[in-house]
Structure 1
Amino acid sequence: MGAVGQEDYVRLFSLYGDGVATAYQDAKPGDAERFTLLFEQVMRLLAKGSSYNLSLPSTFTRTARDYVGGDGGTVSRLGDPDTRMFILSDLYDYLHLSRVRRAG
């Protein structure tokens, strides 16, 4: 994969349907496991250097770099399924709002 762009994230999230948008608020049994692979893939994308990633809020990219780099505190904190779902939901919302603003 070349440079990471918004469409890479949108494509990943689309594989999971609309469930990502509400998973944090309406958690169902098994959701944490269902979204584990998505979380890992998103963290790896966020940790890559790209002009798009640089345009994202630094809390996303910094957290991802620390996680992928094995920072103990970050890995421990993100071991909590609720925290993982919150991050995915937050990024999903950010991407959606960015697309709406750009289209409008």
Structure 2
Amino acid sequence: MPAATPLASGRDADVYALGADRVVRRNRDGGDVRAEAELMAYLRGQGYPVPEVFRADGPDLEMARLAGPVRLLDSAVSLRTRTGPLDPRRVAQAAARVRAAHG
């Protein structure tokens, strides 16, 4: 990871600033963020307000730094169940929340 400045810390991950326009979110428990990155890229391609993903490598997700409410983004991309893969119902619910919040 390039030189990074601690920016925020949440329940499962830490976020580091990579300059003024990028951040990297590192999941503390490791894992692979590629499925999340693919979902974010898909949603962005459909016009949803999610950050552009530049790199997904193991527990690190490098993306555009956005200003604004953080909890909405958290709910939109935290779609994994605690015990398994993506849950299609949660994906649909998150998409509906994003659509409702952003017209």
Answer yes or no: same fold by TM over 0.5: no
Q: Choose between structure 1 and 2 for higher RCO, CA contacts under 8 A separated by at least 6 residues.
A: 1
Which structure carries more helix by proportion? 1
**TM-score when scaled to structure 1?**
0.27
